[in-house]
Amino acid sequence: MSDFSPGQRWISDGEAELGLGTILSCDQRSVTVLFGASQETRTYGSRQAPLTRVAFGSGDRIQSAEGWQLLVDDSKEVDGLIVYIGEDAQGDLRELRESELADTMQFDQARDRLLTGQVDRNDWFDLRFRTLHHHHRIEQNPALGLSGPRIDLIPHQLYIADEVARRHSPRVLLADEVGLGKTIEAGLILHRLLLTGRAERALILVPPSLTHQWLVELLRRFALDVTLLDEQQSLAQAEANPFESGQLVLASQEWLFANPHRQAQAEACDWDLLIVDEAHHLDWSADSVGPGYACVERLAATVPGVLLLTATPEQMGLESHFARLRLLDPDRYHCLERFREEEQHYVEVAQAIDALERLPGGEDNHSDTERVAAIIEEPDSLALLTTLANPESSAAQQDSARRQLRDQLLDRHGTGRVMFRNSRRHVGGFPERHLHLAHLALPSPYRRVLRKLERDEDYLDELLIETGLDHPDVLIYPDTMYRALAEDPLNAEPWWQFDPRVTWLLERLSDEAEHGFAGDKVLVIAHGRETAQGLAEALRVLGGVHAPVFHEGLSLVERDRAAAAFADEEEGCQVLVCSEIGSEGRNFQFCRHLVMFDLPQHPDQLEQRIGRLDRIGQRHAIEIHVPLFEASPGERLLRWYRDGMDAFLAPHGVGNELFDAFGDAMTEALLDDESLEEVITETRTLFESRLTERDAGRNRLLELNACRPARAEAVAGAILELDEDKALPRYLDQALDIFGVDSQELGGGLLYLLPGQHMLDGLPGLVKGEEGFTATLSRARALARDDVQRLSWEHPLLREMMGRILDGNMGNTALALLKHPAIPAGRLMAELVFRTHCPAPKRLHVNRFLPPTAVRVLLDESGAVLTDKVSFTGLSKNLQKVKKAMARDVIRSRHDQLRGLLSQGEVEAERELPSIVEDAQVRMRSELDTELARLEALARLNPAVREEELDAMRRERRELDEAIDGTRLRLDAVRVIVTVDQDSR
Ligand SMILES: Nc1ncnc2c1ncn2[C@@H]1O[C@H](COP(=O)(O)OP(=O)(O)OP(=O)(O)O)[C@@H](O)[C@H]1O
């Protein structure tokens, strides 16, 4: 390399990111180069300087340091420097000396990199092509966003996630019964929206006792890294808006709802999705609006997507339930009376759907046909009914008509679009529940007060004043009453010293007991915090049993520690004692014994308690134990629950109505058996009639709508296809190798991934010098082991590697050798890979119709097109790598030839573009037009379809149309192939 001259432009082979360098000085021994863009100077030995001369040719567009551009036509050499000749943007003929080229000229593009001699490894090129191919495939897969999470494939969850996440700005109430997986559904929806670019920022508001559990679920199951925000974290942000500190922010409702300043900060952010767990706490009535409701109402007014989660939507009353639906869709839910009125018709709709199953059903199908015809109006539905009712139609025609009609009826009537509620009854496969009662004698300190209450009507008022307690707390929770009367000298002893429920529990806990828990885990729930604390103390003092306590007085960390101590399978505690806050949201399905140390006051709360154990993942029957004092208010309350509404058997969803109708009467009857019997009888009557009505009408409709098995099955099928994708392990191997991640087989389908010595920085979960992680490709294995990550196309490591390849220039140039008996040595081929670019806002998720698509063109040096004759794989496996220095020499010597092939390749690739664009348009139109037609038909009958939803879809279709139309092809990567003799090495 003796031909350096000051002013010449070269780039560094090893540090191309330094940009275009200028030779400052050179002599026999060294050469000094200034890289102006990065303000770096380097001196190299002139004999082996790792530099490549930059020389442009005809057709290249270059930029001057003054900012003007030149389209190169020709060049000449003057005093050792190249002078480019060509036209500027105005069409004027100009000259540009190489020393006057802009330092900032980029050499990222394949063409520039190749022509400036920057060649990557051959296997990088290979990986780049494969990445494009797989990315193209996966982006169009209907399971995108649902296949990565570490979950069991449960149909009702997949259906909901698929149905909701495909909507423009979904606003729904996820109201499955307790423990059926609302958190999982919300996580799936969020995950899919994030992966498809439809959401980038989400705010998740949950009760304080559930923050950690959400954090862990989102990380463990969805690999989503969430920022947990509290006051301390917020203060640490000083002046900055703390809600801007992460893309996904999780916060406690209690904290936010009590803090107007933080609410204003949260409202000031741009969120795409708001998730509110245990949303029944957002209470509203005509006279008073709870602070939680008010806060969420303000947020929901500007955040486009809203998911409200509750298992007991009516726990705070029908008014509150209606108000929450209104949060989701104020236009649809503006009148409570109308809402009530609509519900009356659900029975007929449900009956019509059932009638479909019987049709055509022989000669006597008239009434069933009438039943359906009475509901439907639209011509498309009527035509389907005619096909279905016609005994002459083929079985296939009937099946298809039945399915479509069913979907139309479900879509067009009822609350289905806003509310999803699955129940155990139709999901099936849930454990039985067994109720065990322990009848205990009232201890004298309680009996004294209760008997006096029964004798003396006025005493209750006195007692309420004396204790400051509420009615009926004072009656149902005798230990609370006892503590409130602490002034009484007879009440000096701690309550747990004499309360027989404590002794009973201790006996059951000891292994010897006849009906003991035999070492099994036991969750104990008591209504009040002080009861829970006292009970834990009693277990320790009287029985030497260490039971962590979980109550509202503890910090979040302390609560999580208590729950974790209980959950630990090997070394964990046998018992956890919770106050009522432990009865919501928590996952305790690893335990099958529930002790209700006392009873809650609302049937929905009772269901929430049982729901801690009766959840997905529970493998045993649920044993519910209730210690009762004979002839006490607590025992009467139990009878109301058990005999009035079968509350211990299974969730029934009418608890709130019964509470509204008879809650007061039941409270009044807590001291009187006779009136209690009446209340129970009346409750039972209403219970049964409501159940029949609901099962026939609203519940039936909700159930039918909450999961459409055919859709769920299709989604599960698409997920399984990705799970079993044979290409994934092959791709993974290659990518890990190239990114420098070591992988060790651990046996049993497990891999240990760890940073290699030369690992590229910034890969998620892997830091040089630190430990790696265990992973598996198998869903089942990942589900069985919490400490094992599941590798899928959606895993952050895979996505990062693929993203880096696609967004950067890694592997976009290569040179390889080919030995082929039929081709003489020294021949050149160019393998060009073009990629479609379709600039569009991320929210359009244009990739589902037109993901970056590769167009491969293979040319030999004479310009003959070999693309169809020689496949990528066929060629690739016969190629050999070559030293970089040699590759650069080849490129330098074949510059002009390569330029010609690059230009010809462009023309060849352009021929493919129209059909790619057309295919994408057809796919987009067929999907969106069908969806739009469905929505328009729906909107005519079901006001739950918002006009803005329709407008948004029309706009989306238009924008997609334009975006796809504007698709261009760009050269993404190029590999030069040189043939060599058979015997050359
Ligand atoms: N598809 C699934 N695969 C594996 N585990 C699941 C799945 N769905 C739910 N679970 C587990 O079942 C339990 C209940 O799920 P989740 O917490 O989502 O229910 P929920 O409906 O939100 O309950 P709650 O009404 O009590 O708030 C959790 O431990 C969850 O991790």
Please write the tens of the pLDDT for every residue from 319-331.
888 888 889 987 7
C-alpha of residue 522 to centroid of ligand 1, in Å: 20
3-state secondary structure 86-145: EECCCCCEEEEEHHHECCCCCCCCHHHHHHCCCCECHHHHHHHHHHHHHHHHHHCCCCCC
Whether the pLDDT of residue 731 is over 90: the answer is: yes
- Closest ligand 1 atom to residue 183 Cα is 18
Determine the topology of domain 432-443+499-630 in CATH.
Rossmann fold (3.40.50)
Instruction: Tell me the average pLDDT across 807-822.
Output: 88
410 class by beta-carbon count within 10 Å (0-12 exposed, 13-18 middle, 19+ buried): buried
Give the 3-state secondary structure of residue 63: strand
CB atoms within 10 A of CB 489: 6
User: Residue 617 has what pLDDT?
Assistant: 81
Element (H, E) at 359: none
Contact 802, 128 (CB under 8 A): no
C-alpha of residue 589 to centroid of ligand 1, in Å: 9
C-alpha of residue 588 to centroid of ligand 1, in Å: 10
Whether the pLDDT of residue 412 is over 80: the answer is: no
- Closest ligand 1 atom to residue 221 Cα is 31
Is the backbone of residue 91 left (phi > 0), alpha (psi -120 to 50) or beta? left
Q: Which residues contact residue 260 at a Cβ distance below 8 angstroms, ignoring those fewer than 6 apart?
A: none
- Closest ligand 1 atom to residue 311 Cα is 25
Whether the pLDDT of residue 610 is over 90: the answer is: yes
C-alpha of residue 426 to centroid of ligand 1, in Å: 17
Residue type, 154: I
User: Residue 847 has what pLDDT?
Assistant: 86
User: Residue 985 has what pLDDT?
Assistant: 52
C-alpha of residue 183 to centroid of ligand 1, in Å: 6
Residue with tokens 């002459």: 392
Residue with CA closest to ligand 1 atom 5: 151
Pocket-testing residue among 154, 278, 587, 608, ligand 1, by greatest number of atoms within 8 A of Cβ = 587
pTM score, two decimals?
0.79
- Closest ligand 1 atom to residue 187 Cα is 18
Sign of CA dihedral 57, 58, 62, 64: positive
Q: How far apart are CA 511 and CA 500, in angstroms?
A: 19
Q: Is the peptide bond before 360 cis (omega within 30 degrees of 0)?
A: yes
Residue with CA closest to ligand 1 atom 8: 181
User: Residue 932 has what pLDDT?
Assistant: 84
Establish whether 178 is an annotated binding residue.
yes
Q: How many helices (H) and strands (E) does the chain have?
A: 38, 31
C-alpha of residue 56 to centroid of ligand 1, in Å: 62
Pocket-testing residue among 152, 153, 159, 183, ligand 1, by greatest number of atoms within 8 A of Cβ = 183
Residue with CA closest to ligand 1 atom 30: 181
Q: How far apart are CA 445 and CA 498, in angstroms?
A: 9
Determine the topology of domain 155-335 in CATH.
Rossmann fold (3.40.50)
User: Residue 235 has what pLDDT?
Assistant: 92
Establish whether 181 is an annotated binding residue.
yes
Q: Where are the alpha helices (H) located in 379-484, listed in sequence order?
A: 379-389, 395-412, 424-427, 444-455, 459-467, 473-476, 478-484
Whether the pLDDT of residue 4 is over 70: the answer is: yes
- Closest ligand 1 atom to residue 180 Cα is 21
Whether the pLDDT of residue 267 is over 90: the answer is: yes
- Closest ligand 1 atom to residue 584 Cα is 26
Residue with CA closest to ligand 1 atom 28: 587
φ/ψ (deg, to 5) at 419? -125, 135
Class of domain 9-107: mainly beta
Supply angle C-alpha 351, 357, 362, rounded to 5: 110
Instruction: Tell me the average pLDDT across 708-723.
Output: 92
Q: Which residues contact residue 914 at a Cβ distance below 8 angstroms, ignoring those fewer than 6 apart?
A: none
CATH architecture of the domain 725-803 equals 2-Layer Sandwich (3.30)
User: Residue 1 has what pLDDT?
Assistant: 41
User: Residue 984 has what pLDDT?
Assistant: 56
Instruction: Tell me the average pLDDT across 636-646.
Output: 96
Element (H, E) at 872: helix 872-876
Instruction: Tell me the average pLDDT across 912-926.
Output: 93
- For residue 467, give both structure tokens: 């204790």
Across 704-740, b (16+ Cβ under 10 Å) vs e yields bbbbbeeebebbbebbeebbebeebeebbebbbebbb
- pLDDT tier at 88, thresholds 50, 70, 90: very high
- For residue 982, give both structure tokens: 């058979």
Whether the pLDDT of residue 27 is over 50: the answer is: yes
C-alpha of residue 178 to centroid of ligand 1, in Å: 9
Residue with CA closest to ligand 1 atom 12: 616
- Closest ligand 1 atom to residue 616 Cα is 12
C-alpha of residue 587 to centroid of ligand 1, in Å: 7
Give residue-wise pLDDT tens across range 826-835: 889 999 999 9
Contact 732, 790 (CB under 8 A): no
User: Residue 943 has what pLDDT?
Assistant: 62
Rg of the chain, C-alpha, whole Å: 36
User: Residue 229 has what pLDDT?
Assistant: 95
Sign of CA dihedral 529, 535, 540, 546: negative
- pLDDT tier at 2, thresholds 50, 70, 90: very low
Establish whether 528 is an annotated binding residue.
no
C-alpha of residue 309 to centroid of ligand 1, in Å: 12
Establish whether 182 is an annotated binding residue.
yes
Q: How far apart are CA 773 and CA 750, in angstroms?
A: 10
C-alpha of residue 184 to centroid of ligand 1, in Å: 6
Q: Which of 231-240, 318-327, 758-767 has the lowest mean pLDDT?
A: 318-327
Contact 430, 424 (CB under 8 A): yes
Whether the pLDDT of residue 934 is over 90: the answer is: no
User: Residue 191 has what pLDDT?
Assistant: 97
User: Residue 513 has what pLDDT?
Assistant: 59
Across 973-983, b (16+ Cβ under 10 Å) vs e yields bbbbbbbbeee
Q: Which residues line ligand 1 (CB under 6 A)?
A: 151-152, 154, 157, 176, 178-184, 311, 585, 587, 589, 611, 615-617
Residue with CA closest to ligand 1 atom 15: 181
Give residue-wise pLDDT tens across range 144-172: 999 999 999 999 999 999 999 987 779 99
User: Residue 696 has what pLDDT?
Assistant: 66
User: Residue 357 has what pLDDT?
Assistant: 82
User: Residue 933 has what pLDDT?
Assistant: 81
User: Residue 922 has what pLDDT?
Assistant: 93
CB atoms within 10 A of CB 280: 23
Give residue-wise pLDDT tens across range 204-222: 999 988 898 899 899 989 9
Pocket-testing residue among 184, 204, 222, 310, ligand 1, by greatest number of atoms within 8 A of Cβ = 184
Give the 3-state secondary structure of residue 666: helix
Sign of CA dihedral 605, 609, 615, 621: negative
User: Residue 350 has what pLDDT?
Assistant: 82
C-alpha of residue 894 to centroid of ligand 1, in Å: 63
Establish whether 183 is an annotated binding residue.
yes
Instruction: Tell me the average pLDDT across 244-260.
Output: 95
C-alpha of residue 157 to centroid of ligand 1, in Å: 10
Contact 734, 130 (CB under 8 A): yes
Q: How far apart are CA 140 and CA 611, in angstroms?
A: 38
Q: Which residues contact residue 633 at a Cβ distance below 8 angstroms, ignoring those fewer than 6 apart?
A: 450, 472, 475, 476, 670, 671
User: Residue 130 has what pLDDT?
Assistant: 95
Establish whether 945 is an annotated binding residue.
no
Q: Which residues contact residue 636 at a Cβ distance below 8 angstroms, ignoring those fewer than 6 apart?
A: 669, 670, 673, 676
